Amino acid sequence: MNGDWLIRGRDGRLSVYQLSDDAVLCRAERGPHGPWTAPRTVGGDQRLHPVLALGQGADGYAHLVSWRPTAKGESGLVHSTHFRPLLAALDWNPIGHPNKKGDRTGTPAVAVDAQGRAHVFVRNNGGGVSLLAQKEKGGWEPWRDLKGSQVQDGLAAVTAESGTVELYAAVPSGLAYWRQEEAGAQPVLRETLQAPVRPGTLYALATSPDSTTVFYTDTAGDLCAWRPGGKPVTLLPAAGPGPVSAVRCDLDGYDCTLLAQRSVSGRVAFAAYPTELESAGAWWAESGPRLPVDARVSLATDEHGRVVAATLSPSTGQLLLTRRKDEPGLALEAWRET
């Protein structure tokens, strides 16, 4: 999955999305702090490939994108909108292929602008990035070729605090960065960073009114942070091989960025630091039980602004959650299975 699969809906309820065989499943809180619903299929009976991208707008609506088989050796992208966690999502709607037809070209990424328009990014057969954006009054714009070369899988799309959409991608020489100059405009390739980046480790987060930050693991195994226009900063050694999850939150009155990652020991590692002050340093602290090797971690905040962490293992379907306690520091409640 690509994107935050643990999200808070506009009604304050938390929900999670997961892949299961050829479908996408959703679970949601029946009320604040649970209990949770049983898994239910999203988007109808359409058979899907095992890939899912998620994005969420300021309106709280979740946008989901996947690939579906269309003919032998061919696939097409589909999109669904989930307005509220306890309501049924819209049926999957075909949205085409970046090269008109062919097989899957890469894992898509989704970001939603301030007007609620989903922007779907995906690699194309030429090795660049293509974009499909919703119109403000319904329907979709034509596919756009955003250029780029030798783009690796694992795109990281993000919505800036201004409501415009940005994209980061790993390339053989480092990172490529696209940005909208204004709402509704086509994102353009603004900057490239020469750095030893491991593909598949990118995570992007809006960190100030003027900046987004991308986190990635370099080839030496260190977790780094980069804001376009500046230089990358090494934060600390990565806790594990996969991408981090990150969220901004209030910790004892300070605007902080919290990172979480499945560690090599199998537990969840957390690290926090003042937002955009990487020089302050960060340290991992592990929590919870040992998890299967395919377990992923996601972070969100609940209706009270408290941090919530979730882990999900595709092989077992086990979903574990914890919340920050109502006390100073980053003390967490006991992990519980929903």
**Domain interval for residue 33:** 1-104
Domain membership of residue 12 (yes or no) is: yes
d(CA 66, CA 89): 14
Domain membership of residue 138 (yes or no) is: no
- HSE toward the beta carbon, residue 318, CA cutoff 13 A: 14
pLDDT grade, residue 44 (50/70/90)? very high
Best CA proximity match to 206, nearest among 269, 118, 132, 112: 112
Q: 34 pLDDT exceeds 80?
A: no
Mean model confidence pLDDT for the chain: 95
Which tens digit of pLDDT belongs to each residue from 102-142? 999 999 999 999 999 999 999 999 999 999 999 988 899 99
Single residue among 104, 131, 157 that ends a domain in this structure? 104
- Name residue 215's beta-bridge partners: 203, 225
**14 and 113 inside one domain:** no
Write down the pLDDT at residue 33: 77
Q: What is the mean pLDDT of residues 285-290?
A: 96
Q: What is the mean pLDDT of residues 207-235?
A: 97
Q: Which one is predicted more confidently, 187 or 137?
A: 187
119 and 166 Cβ atoms separated by less than 8 Å: no
Give the containing element (helix H, strand E) for 271. strand 268-274
Q: What is the mean pLDDT of residues 254-270?
A: 97
**33 and 100 inside one domain:** yes
Cβ neighbors of 45 (< 8 A, separation 6 or more) are none
Q: 229 pLDDT exceeds 80?
A: yes
Least confident range of 50-64, 217-231, 322-336: 322-336
Write down the pLDDT at residue 256: 97
Write down the pLDDT at residue 317: 84
**183 and 211 inside one domain:** yes
Q: Taken in order 190, 195, 196, 198, is the CA torsion positive or negative?
A: negative
Domain count, the chain: 3
- Name residue 332's beta-bridge partners: 324
Instruction: Give the neighbor-by-neighbor strand order of the sheet with 6-8.
Output: 6-8, 14-20, 23-28, 40-41
Q: 243 pLDDT exceeds 90?
A: no
Write down the pLDDT at residue 322: 96
206 and 160 Cβ atoms separated by less than 8 Å: yes
Write down the pLDDT at residue 203: 98
Q: 315 pLDDT exceeds 90?
A: no
**86 and 161 inside one domain:** no
Q: Which one is predicted more confidently, 338 or 41?
A: 41
Domain membership of residue 274 (yes or no) is: yes
pTM: 0.96
Q: Taken in order 14, 18, 20, 23, is the CA torsion positive or negative?
A: positive
Write down the pLDDT at residue 335: 96
158 is written with which tokens?
A: 């993000």
Q: What is the mean pLDDT of residues 195-208?
A: 97
Least confident range of 20-34, 90-104, 276-290, 300-314: 20-34
- Name residue 301's beta-bridge partners: 307
Rounded to the nearest 5°, which phi and psi values hold at 190? -100, -30
Q: What is the mean pLDDT of residues 253-275?
A: 97
**234 and 246 inside one domain:** no
* 17: region left, alpha or beta (phi > 0 left; psi from -120 to 50 alpha): beta
Domain membership of residue 136 (yes or no) is: no
**202 and 270 inside one domain:** no
